[in-house]
Amino acid sequence: MSASAGHRSEGPAHNRCLFARRVVHEKEEETTEREEEDDEEEEEDKSSDEGLLLQAHHAMERMEEFVHKMWEGRWRVIPHDVLPDWLKDNDFLLHGHRPPMPSFRACFKSIFRIHTETGNIWTHLLGCLFFVCLGIVYMFRPNMSFVAPFQEKIVIGAFFLGAILCLSFSWLFHTVYCHSEGVSRVFSKLDYSGIAFLIMGSFVPWLYYSFYCSPQPCFIYLIVVCILGIAAITVSQCDFFATPQYRGVRAGVFVGLGLSGVVPTLHFMITEGFLRATTMGQMGWLFLMAVLYITGACLYAARIPERFFPGKCDIWFHSHQLFHILVVAGAFVHFHGVSNLQEFRYTAGGGCAEEGGV
């Protein structure tokens, strides 16, 4: 009796103990499941983070590969419409453009590739080498070939210096302007400054020989030309000056600087007479030089012929190339005329009294 009563009394306590153990076990299982779920979520987060890092790594590798290809010159020309805004200059040249190349090595290696700037680079690179060689030969002529060797070599040297600076800045700009927007901006300003140096340098020997017996007007005209040239250089340093919208303004500034020579030309023709000006003063060569320069500037400003043949002059014979060719031709014509002036002065022996000074 007592045993059965004890068994009954222990039954509920035993059941409560089993129930408590079951509850604890279930909670432990729930805790374990939560921990496992948390671990899985952490692993998923880690895998997603690793995936993002892996994608970033691959992107960096692709960028490095792109830059490496740029350095090795294994790039392809691209159409105008995919160029960044700072590389868009002439929307009539539809194909054959270089992509942005953030490597000077790649830019200079592109000289030997075919693209829209190939002709622009080589016309002034070869022109620069030509005037360097011509200048060396001329400047090392014997002193006996000049009336006043020191003065004459300085004034003719000013022309050679202006021509070489102009052509050097030009081909360098067309070589590296695809490097970056900042590099393009710097070299475009040098390019425009070089044009002003060529114009100013061209005035020096012509004024010296034309007003050989009238130093005062020669000096005044030189000062005026230098002031105008410095003004043109100053304006060309503004960032807006290089934008496509100001193409006509650029051409007008430099044509205007060149046409400032009309005043001393008329002065010389009035005082010396038309016949003497065209023979002794070599006005024919001076006029031809002006025609070449102005024609080139007009073609450049109007973007002829590509305006009438979009996509047909992308590589060869577009307006900028023709402008370059005419600049080199005009500079050589000017040198020829100045050489004739120097020969005349040497033949005259430097005398002024018998010529009737101005």
Domains of the chain from N-terminus onward: 104-355 (1.20.1070)
Q: What is the mean pLDDT of residues 121-134?
A: 98
Q: How many CB atoms lie within 10 A of CB 109?
A: 17
CA distance from start to end of the chain: 157
Burial class (CB in 10 A: 0-12, 13-18, 19+), 31: exposed
Q: What is the mean pLDDT of residues 74-86?
A: 94
User: In this structure, what token pair is assigned to residue 40?
Assistant: 């899985």
Q: Are 177 and 128 in contact (CB under 8 A)?
A: no
Lowest mean pLDDT among 234-238, 274-278, 314-318: 274-278
Angle subtended at Cα 86 by Cα 81 and Cα 91, rounded to the nearest 5 degrees: 40
User: Is omega for the bond preceding 100 within 30 degrees of 0, making it cis?
Assistant: no
User: Is residue 194 within 8 Å of residue 170, measured between CB atoms?
Assistant: yes
C-alpha 334/C-alpha 261 separation (Å) is 13
Using only C-alpha atoms, the chain has a radius of gyration, in whole angstroms, of 39
Q: Name the residue with tokens 């250089």.
A: 233
Q: Residue 155 has what pLDDT? A: 95
pLDDT of res. 352: 73
Between CA 184 and CA 201 the distance in angstroms is 25
Task: Determine the pLDDT at residue 349.
Answer: 73
Q: Which residues are CB-contacts of 264 (< 8 A; sequence separation ≥ 6)?
A: 207, 210, 211, 217, 221
Dump strand ranges (E) for the chain: none
Are 104 and 199 in contact by the 8 Å Cβ rule? The answer is: no
Cα–Cα nearest to 208, from 218, 194, 223, 193: 218
Given CA atoms 22, 23, 24, 25 in this order, what sign does their dihedral have?
A: positive
pLDDT score of 224 more than 90: yes
Closest among 291, 274, 275 to 333, alpha carbons compared: 291
Highest mean pLDDT: which range of 46-60, 71-85, 233-247, 271-285: 233-247
Q: In angstroms, rounded to a whole number, what is the distance separating the alpha carbons of residues 5 and 160? A: 130
| Mean of the per-residue pLDDT values of the chain | 86
Among 14, 195, 186, which Cα is nearest to 104's? 186
Q: How far apart are CA 97 and CA 91, in angstroms?
A: 11
pLDDT value, residue 351? 67
The more confidently predicted of residues 25 and 183 is 183
Helices (H), 73-148: 104-109, 118-139
Q: What is the mean pLDDT of residues 284-308?
A: 94
Residue numbering of the annotated binding site for Zn(2+): 174, 320, 324
The residue that leads in pLDDT, 16 or 36, is 36
322: left (phi over 0), alpha (psi -120 to 50) or beta: alpha
- For residue 59, the cross-strand partners are none
Q: What percent of the chain has pLDDT over 90?
A: 67
For residue 110, list its beta bridge partners: none
Q: Give yes or no for a contact between 151 and 187, defined as CB atoms under 8 angstroms apart.
A: no
CA dihedral 171, 174, 176, 182 (to 10 degrees): 120
What's the pLDDT band for 8 if we cut at 50, 70, 90? very low
Q: Bigger pLDDT: 27 or 249?
A: 249
Give the Cα separation of 199 and 259 in Å (integer): 10
pLDDT band at 358 (very low <50, low <70, confident <90, very high): very low
> Please, are residues 225 and 260 in contact by the beta-carbon 8 Å criterion?
yes
Residue 259's pLDDT band, with cuts at 50, 70 and 90, is very high
- Binding region: 174, 320, 324
